[in-house]
Structure 1
Amino acid sequence: EAVVGEDLARLDTTVLARFHADLDLERTQHADSARLQLNAIRLIMRHLRAGQYRGSGVGS
Structure 2
Amino acid sequence: MVRVSFVDETTSGERRESWHLEIFDERITLREIIRRRVFQEVSEYNVTFLKPVPLVGG
Q: Give the shorter-chain TM-score range.
A: 0.3 to 0.5
Using structure 1 for the length normalisation, give the TM-score. 0.40
Q: Higher relative contact order at CA 8 Å, sep ≥6: structure 1 or structure 2?
A: 2
Higher share in strand: 2
Higher share in helix: 1
Using structure 2 for the length normalisation, give the TM-score. 0.41
